[in-house]
Amino acid sequence: MLDKKTIKRVLSGIRATGRLHLGNYLGAIKGMIELQNNPDYETFYMVADAHTITTPFSVDELRQNRKEIIIDYLAAGLDPKKSTLFIQSQVSEHFELSFYFSSVTTIARMMHLPTYKEKVKQYPKHNTMALLNYPILMAADILLYKADLVPVGIDQEPHLEVAREIARKMNQIYKTSFPQPQRFATKGEYIPSLTGEGKMSKSIEGSYINLTDSLDKIRKKIRKVPTATIAGGPITGGIKTLFILSEIFLPKKTYEEFKEKYHSQTLKFVELKDTLAEAIYQELKPFQEKRKQIASNLTYVEKIIKEGAQKAKTVAQETLKEVKEKMGLS
Ligand code: AQP
């Protein structure tokens, strides 16, 4: 039997901004599954619906997407018997802790974060306090469960640094017992965009492959990846995207053969692209089939959401109680 005390906690979440893409799957969900299946960890995975309102959103879509992400989690292999699956806004302790954390965080620190600056550039008319507070709420999400590990993509590293800073300050000033959460990295911690510039992202049209895309759709998207370059030259832009995805999805030998052909200037890109499209689809097919089954049983999904909120709340309340006592708030 494992000593209860050696079990570490894990927290991760995905915003309810739409259908999941390969970046979300490889950078976050794969790591979430790996840790769920490791008995040394207790895993908490949420739908970050409150984080969704930090950028422009539609009320109806948000309502629907909260459930869709839970269905995605289940179809991808998250198991409610092993992981607590819940919706962030149903555990109000996240917001309370976030407010307490904001008292140890400066405005300047938040304004200098690259993620904040990027989002302001993307949505100049939506420079809200919620957006500025995003990393504080994320720190609360993680530390409410005293999570040691956070399976997320590399783009989230600056936010994890903020969470560690907040944990240190809280422990120093109020003698709380927060851990220093670390990112759990996967092989796909950074999936580049199909456009060849930046990362694969839901909000950038033409950049992503959805987990629910058909073979035909995947093939069309991959065929559009720009490959115009000096033949056999440095691997950059769209070609880099193709090779990163190939390394993940193709057998090692096939990947190396394509690379060799590229360097010897004998590669037919359409051949690489179609082989890659097929391999991606084969990996996604079981997910797509399972997703259809789960989506037709919404009573089951609702039950998981309800039970998840109750389980998460029990842990959340314990931490909040400790923080309030130590901060002189109870
Ligand atoms: N391209 C990526 N490569 C690896 N991991 C990625 N993640 C996102 N993009 C990549 C990881 O997926 C998880 C969920 O991200 P999120 O909650 O930030 O969702 P999001 O913001 O909706 O993701 P996008 O696609 O980047 O959306 P927009 O365009 O709206 O900002 C995280 O663990 C993230 O690291």
State phi, psi for 121 to the nearest 5 degrees: -65, -40
Under CATH, what is the fold of the domain 8-189+298-326? Rossmann fold (3.40.50)
Region 248-273: mean pLDDT is 95
- Comparing 229 with 171, the larger pLDDT belongs to 171
- Alpha carbon of 222 to ligand 1 centroid (Å): 20
Residue 61 pLDDT > 90: yes
Q: Is the CB of 48 under 6 A from ligand 1?
A: yes
d(CA 83, CA 42): 7
- Alpha carbon of 86 to ligand 1 centroid (Å): 18
| Tokens, residue 293 | 């089954």
Region 293-304: mean pLDDT is 97
155, 161, 200, 248: residue to mutate for ligand 1 pocket, most atoms within 8 A of CB: 155
Percent of the chain past pLDDT 70, that is, above it, reads: 98
9 in helix, strand or coil? strand
Q: Is the CB of 94 under 6 A from ligand 1?
A: no
Which atom of ligand 1 is least distant from the CA of 151?
Answer: 33
Residue 268 pLDDT > 50: yes
55 in helix, strand or coil? coil
292 in helix, strand or coil? helix
Region 66-95: mean pLDDT is 98
Which atom of ligand 1 is least distant from the CA of 51?
Answer: 17
Residue 72 pLDDT > 70: yes
Which atom of ligand 1 is least distant from the CA of 18?
Answer: 22
pLDDT at 1: 42
Task: Give the CB-side neighbour count of residue 46, counting CA atoms within 13 A.
Answer: 28
pLDDT at 234: 83
Could you tell me the residue ranges of all domains in the chain?
A: 8-189+298-326, 215-292
| Model confidence, pTM | 0.94
Q: Is the CB of 194 under 6 A from ligand 1?
A: no
Pick the CATH number of 215-292 from 3.40.50.620, 3.30.1110.20, 1.10.1040.50, 1.10.240.10: 1.10.240.10
Task: Note the pLDDT tens digit of each residue in 85-115.
Answer: 999 999 999 999 999 999 999 999 999 999 9
Region 251-260: mean pLDDT is 96
The mean predicted confidence, pLDDT, of the chain is 95
Region 274-290: mean pLDDT is 98
Amino acid at 213: D
Residue 3 pLDDT > 70: no
Residue 2 pLDDT > 60: no
Region 66-90: mean pLDDT is 98
Residue 202 pLDDT > 90: no
Q: Are 283 and 250 in contact (CB under 8 A)?
A: no
pLDDT at 230: 65
* 7-11, 22-26, 76-80, 225-229: segment of lowest average pLDDT: 225-229
Percent of the chain past pLDDT 90, that is, above it, reads: 93
DSSP string, 197-258: SSB--TTSTTS--BTT--HHHHHHHHHTS---SSTT----HHHHHHHHHHHHHS-HHHHHHH
d(CA 227, CA 168): 47
